[in-house]
Amino acid sequence: MIKIRLFCAAGFSTSALVDKMLKAAQVKGIDVDIEACSQSQLAKSLDGVDVALLGPQVGYTMPKSKQICDERCVPIAIIPMTDYGTMNGEKVLDLAISLIKK
């Protein structure tokens, strides 16, 4: 199972993206555990996580977030604004999987 965490400001709009990602994973036959969390909880939410993604609205936290994730060997990236804005769950899922394979 792939454990993905999306970190954003409050988690409301990102929860809709999580639903789209779960549907895309089901179509692709990928076993995933995806949750949206507040960026302020990043350090406390990385246990067993395979990849972390930041919502574009909290992209400014990338330097600090990357430092925290690097200490835990968790790859991290910012979700592209176009994919986030269009709620393209398949593309965001593909991004997460590509980070794990690196």
Distance CA(43)–CA(93), nearest Å, equals 22
Q: What's the number of domains the chain is made of?
A: 1
Q: How far apart are CA 92 and CA 95, in angstroms?
A: 5
pTM beyond cutoff 0.85: yes
Q: pLDDT, tens digit, for every residue of 41-72?
A: 999 999 999 999 999 999 999 999 999 999 99
Q: Percent of the chain having pLDDT more than 90?
A: 91
Residue 11: what pLDDT?
63
Query: What is the distance between the alpha carbons of residues 12 and 17, in angstroms, rounded to a whole number?
Result: 9
**Which 3 state secondary structure label does DSSP give 62?**
helix
What is the structure's pLDDT at 6?
97
Q: Which residues are catalytic?
A: 8
pLDDT at 7 over 70: yes
Q: Which pLDDT does position 22 carry in this prediction?
A: 98
- Give the pLDDT of residue 101: 83
Average pLDDT over residues 14-27: 95
Q: What is the span of the domain harbouring residue 65? A: 2-101
User: How far is the C-alpha of 10 from the C-alpha of 68, rounded, in Å?
Assistant: 19
The H or E element spanning position 35 is: strand 32-38
28: domain CATH number is: 3.40.50.2300
Under 8 Å between Cβ of 11 and 36? yes
